[in-house]
Amino acid sequence: MTPALPSPVATQSAAAPPLAVSVHGLTKRFGHKTAVDHVDLEVPQGSVFGFLGPNGSGKTTCLRMITGLLEPSGGSGTCLGFDILRQRAEIKREVGYMTQRFSLYEDLTVQENLEFVARVYGMPDSRVVVQATMGKFALTDRRGQLAGALSGGWKQRLSLAACMLHHPRLLLLDEPTAGVDPKARRDFWEEIHRLAAAGLTVLVTTHYMDEAERCTHLAYLANGRLLARGSPESLVAESGLTTWVVGGPGLAAVAERLSARPEVELVAAFGTALHASGSDAVALAAAVRAETGPEHVCRSGPPSLEDVFIHLMGEAPNFTGPEQAEA
């Protein structure tokens, strides 16, 4: 069962944070193909809002329309108080955009790259700003190092520093930790939450479930349509799924038997255990009991976020959007 979308709220309560993004019916067509199909979305200011979905699902297209980088084919809304149709230039000035691939000059030093970006933005006192930014992102000791000689984690840190030079109010991160080691990813996310706590709104696309769990809000898109949104906890709670974790010998054979049963909607290996999930808790329990033996350890519990999203992928209709590589 696909989690129900919350009913639209006409007015915000006094305690609710202001909205950084509010869009309705957001649509993008490329010729006869629809990449984003009537998406309604609200993003609270200061949130870390994650966009998930398979490749080609419309995540990046949606974010580019919200942040003024791509003109919508339909829909309306605001980003940072600016109209997404008529004030795209104003939006772009308030956005920092960090792409998946390192996009700075590898034959320039850390400091030279930041000074170049500051000049592009036409910032007064650019040298002062660059020095302060290098200190803020722990880059001072590497200021003379060529960007191309940096490790993946330090390139990521430099990219983030360049995005933040002009003090944006919204940060767009497109698969920001691809190819980065686990410690660098953790350090990066700690920095993102520190920035969000200071009022920055962050929009991020990711395929990593541990990163999705670090987001305050999530939206799941498939085939250009918004299938689910909410906090990670609410998406799990509202999924309607029950999961059994099975451990013991011969799990490949168990997985094959469980996959053949209609009441088992999802079977996946997680380390040395299996996760078997379904919407009918009673029927799922009976199936697990029937296909396992006394040598197996079985326990029920809530599904993981990954269980929920794999389930959503299975329920999504066939993709009808443009055949393009998109995060």
- Model pLDDT for residues 234-291, shown as the tens digit of each residue: 999 888 899 999 999 999 999 999 999 999 999 988 889 999 999 999 999 999 999 9
Residue 120 shares a structural domain with residue 259: no
Residues above pLDDT 70, as percent of the chain: 91
Residue 122 shares a structural domain with residue 227: yes
Residue 178 shares a structural domain with residue 282: no
Q: What is the mean pLDDT of residues 125-130?
A: 92
Please enumerate in sequence order all residues whose Cβ is within 8 A of that of 172, keeping only pairs 6 or more positions apart, or say none.
63, 67, 95, 96, 97, 98, 203, 204
Domain boundary among 187, 213, 236: 236
Residue 323's pLDDT is: 37
Which of 35-44, 97-106, 313-322 is predicted with the least confidence, judged by mean pLDDT? 313-322
Residue 232 shares a structural domain with residue 257: no
- Full domain range(s) for residue 26: 19-236
Please provide the average confidence, as pLDDT, over all residues in the chain.
Answer: 88
Could you tell me if residue 307 is inside a domain?
no
Name the band, by pLDDT with cuts 50, 70 and 90, for residue 307: confident
Please enumerate in sequence order all residues whose Cβ is within 8 A of that of 271, keeping only pairs 6 or more positions apart, or say none.
none
- Alpha-carbon distance of 110 to 276, in angstroms, equals 49
Name the token pair of 101: 């691939």
Could you tell me if residue 184 is inside a domain?
yes
The domain that contains 253 carries what CATH number? Answer: 3.30.70.260
Residue 2, pLDDT above cutoff 60: no
Residue 207 shares a structural domain with residue 268: no
Could you tell me if residue 56 is inside a domain?
yes
- Residue of 70 and 184 predicted with greater confidence: 70
3-state secondary structure (DSSP) of residue 245 = strand
Among residues 155, 171, 153, the alpha carbon closest in space to that of 163 is found at 171
Which of 75-89, 149-163, 168-182, 290-304 is predicted with the least confidence, judged by mean pLDDT? 168-182
Residue 251 shares a structural domain with residue 208: no
Could you tell me if residue 200 is inside a domain?
yes
Name the band, by pLDDT with cuts 50, 70 and 90, for residue 319: very low
- Alpha-carbon distance of 274 to 261, in angstroms, equals 15
Which of 39-48, 80-89, 211-220, 301-310 is predicted with the least confidence, judged by mean pLDDT? 301-310
- Alpha-carbon distance of 120 to 117, in angstroms, equals 5
Name the band, by pLDDT with cuts 50, 70 and 90, for residue 192: very high
Residue 200 shares a structural domain with residue 107: yes
**Segment (H or E) for 214:** none
Strand partners, 98: 173
Could you tell me if residue 295 is inside a domain?
yes
Which of 206-210, 230-234, 271-275 is predicted with the least confidence, judged by mean pLDDT? 206-210
- pTM reported for the whole predicted model: 0.83
Residue 244 shares a structural domain with residue 206: no
Q: What is the mean pLDDT of residues 85-92?
A: 95
Give how many domains the chain has, as a whole number: 2
- Residue of 12 and 242 predicted with greater confidence: 242
Name the band, by pLDDT with cuts 50, 70 and 90, for residue 316: low
Residue 253 shares a structural domain with residue 213: no
Name the band, by pLDDT with cuts 50, 70 and 90, for residue 318: low
Cβ burial 52-80 (10 Å sphere, 16+ → b, else e): bbbebbbbbbbbbbbbbbbebeebebbbb
Residue 228 shares a structural domain with residue 206: yes
Residue 146, pLDDT above cutoff 60: yes
The domain that contains 121 carries what CATH number? Answer: 3.40.50.300
Among residues 105, 214, 215, the alpha carbon closest in space to that of 158 is found at 105
Name the band, by pLDDT with cuts 50, 70 and 90, for residue 312: confident
Could you tell me if residue 153 is inside a domain?
yes
Residue 139 shares a structural domain with residue 52: yes
Tell me how many degrees the CA angle 137-138-140 measures, rounded to the nearest 5.
115
Residue 63 shares a structural domain with residue 200: yes
